[in-house]
Amino acid sequence: MKSFQNLILLQNLYRLKAIGFEYIDHFEINEKSTYAQANSLQELTKEIQNCHLCDLSKSRKQCMSGYGSQNASLFILDYQVSQAQDSANNYYSGRSGDTLKKMIENVLQVSTQDIYLTHAIKCKPLESNTPSLSEWDSCKNYLFTQLDLIQPKVIVTLGPKAYSHLTNDYVENFENVRGHVINFKHAKLIPIYHPQFLLRNPELKKITLNDLYTIKHCLDNT
């Protein structure tokens, strides 16, 4: 357990002890599910910017809550903030961001202003480490609130981690779901390769092009 969480836990225990409690059931100190839900993206963005539920709040440059339209039909989910995105505070920065932008504008023929792009983990992990389960637990209510507020027609997850954490389906072989159209929360969910993965494996771009046509078909017919 991280130091900030320890502090919160101790504060709660001392307060309970002071009023006479000797035992309480286990509780998650960084779960947001019992908090009042934001009524708009603007309200939620402020909540995320002021979040201190995990240790990433100590090291972050900023929270990257999400970018785009609250009326978006297309919702794109990346798993974690990249170094390039964090340094530039820009969702389409770096080679990966440029690739994603071309996929959206040139193939899907949608403006980046008209979709919504966000991350499962809203702050860049320390030293590009893989985010911990605790950090995901701190962030996940923000993500599901965004989905509830936007109500997209199509959700696209970039890479296996984004898909697995969103759906709680930790597939061993990403190919079993990649490019498939999956019913999820009144939307069509389509997992695809992450742009960074495509830069390392350019032979897979043709497969992704077909997946993008699937996404476009769903957008045009839902």
pLDDT band at 34 (very low <50, low <70, confident <90, very high): very low
**CATH architecture under which domain 31-220 falls:** 3-Layer(aba) Sandwich (3.40)
What value does the mean pLDDT of the chain take? 86
Rounded mean pLDDT, 82-104: 91
Rounded mean pLDDT, 139-146: 93
Contact 185, 120 (CB under 8 A): no
Phi-psi region of 3 (alpha: psi -120 to 50; beta: other; left: phi over 0): alpha
What is the SS3 assignment for 69? coil
Rounded mean pLDDT, 78-83: 90
pLDDT at 11: 64
pLDDT at 24: 57
Structural domain boundaries in the chain: 31-220
Residue 19 pLDDT greater than 50, yes or no: yes
**Angstrom distance (rounded) from CA 127 to CA 198:** 23
Residue 74 pairs in a beta bridge with 154
Residue whose C-alpha is closest to residue 215's, from 158, 155, 159, 160: 155
pLDDT band at 36 (very low <50, low <70, confident <90, very high): low
**Angstrom distance (rounded) from CA 131 to CA 174:** 20
